[in-house]
Amino acid sequence: MAKEKASRTQKTTMFDIVNYIVFVVIALIVLIPIWKVLVDSLNQVGVYQFRIYPRNFTLDGYKTIIETSKLYTPFLVSVVSTVLGTLLGLTLATLGGYVLNQTEMPGRNAMAFFLLFTMIFSGGMIPEYLVMKQLGFINHWYILVFKHGINVYNLVLMKNFFEGVPSSLFEAAKIDGCSPMGIFFKIVLPLSKAALASIGLMFAVTVWNDYSTVQIYITDTKQVNFQYKLKTMIMDGDTPTTSYNVSQTTLYNAGIVAAILPFMILYPFLQKYFVKGVNIGAVKE
């Protein structure tokens, strides 16, 4: 797509210049608060005010996270639950989205209603807690996987993407004797890489950023995830409890950066699938 686009308009116009300037300004605005976190995470001393650069540079905050098992264990819990949760979530969202796209299927509307209803109505925290308890999910990190395993919002988005796959392809495949599963794996999935990448990312981030599930369902400190650990560090109330080798401020700011880092690394790899997503359009009638 890059090449195609480049060939579309070669010369840099006024439009491009303005566009670049505007985006640089936006990027700066976005970065200012993040810069504060980054500087504080590298600062030996706790500074409340805004500083452009650290007063006393240190990497101790990050070192503490890597070296303290009470901090890296939650990080590993986060990584594992995010990977599994994303896989489960994507599987169910693609299956559901694909099936909902079968407009001629008897009962399709009922199924759609069955799903959409859950977006609006819920039993509330306590009934959910009791059900999770019955299922034996309390106090285990894998509740994060199951809690996010089905997401109707993402399922509907997935269905919307599938709509973009030209139905002529399905017809052709059906005539070739492909089963629904076959069509799904051989035609739909390969054509939906952009959707899989973006919705997968949405799943991953939801699981990764989730601390409230942990707060409600997990009391065993060995099972908590990183965002929860981070939150307890930040919200640390009136009790002078845990102290680490570095200033609290340094440590939790390092934690905030650490929580962003995996996705900063991951995103560029996913981006190329957004580009490949053009395939859907390429065969569109």
Question: Footprint of another protein on residues 167-206 (CB under 8 A)?
Answer: 167-168, 171, 179-181, 184, 194-195, 197-198, 201-202, 205
Question: Footprint of another protein on residues 108-167 (CB under 8 A)?
Answer: 109-116, 118-131, 133-135, 138, 146-147, 149-150, 152-153, 155-157, 159-161, 164, 166-167
Residues 283 and 20: their CA atoms lie apart, in Å, by 32
Closest CB to another protein among residues 55, 80:
55
Torsion sign over Cα 98, 101, 105, 107 = positive
Q: Smallest distance from the beta carbon of 80 to another protein, in angstroms?
A: 18
φ, ψ for residue 246, nearest 5 deg: -115, 170
Burial 139-166 (b: 16+ CB within 10 A, else e): eebebbbbbbbbbbebbbbbbebbeebe
| Residues 166 and 101: beta-carbon distance below 8 Å | no
Question: Footprint of another protein on residues 51-80 (CB under 8 A)?
Answer: 51, 55-56, 68, 70
Question: Footprint of another protein on residues 212-231 (CB under 8 A)?
Answer: 215-216, 219-222, 227, 230-231
Task: For residue 81, state whether it binds another protein (rule: CB under 8 A).
Answer: no
CA distances from 237 to 37, 138, 213, 267 (A): 20, 25, 20, 35
Residue type at position 200: G
Question: Footprint of another protein on residues 5-44 (CB under 8 A)?
Answer: 5-6, 8-9, 12-13, 15-16, 19-20, 22-23, 26-27, 29-34, 36-37, 43
Among 63, 67, 102, 190, binds another protein (CB under 8 A): 102
DSSP 122: -
Among 62, 75, 98, 226, binds another protein (CB under 8 A): 98
Residues 253 and 10: their CA atoms lie apart, in Å, by 44
Task: For residue 48, state whether it binds another protein (rule: CB under 8 A).
Answer: yes
Closest CB to another protein among residues 26, 83:
26
Closest CB to another protein among residues 57, 91:
91
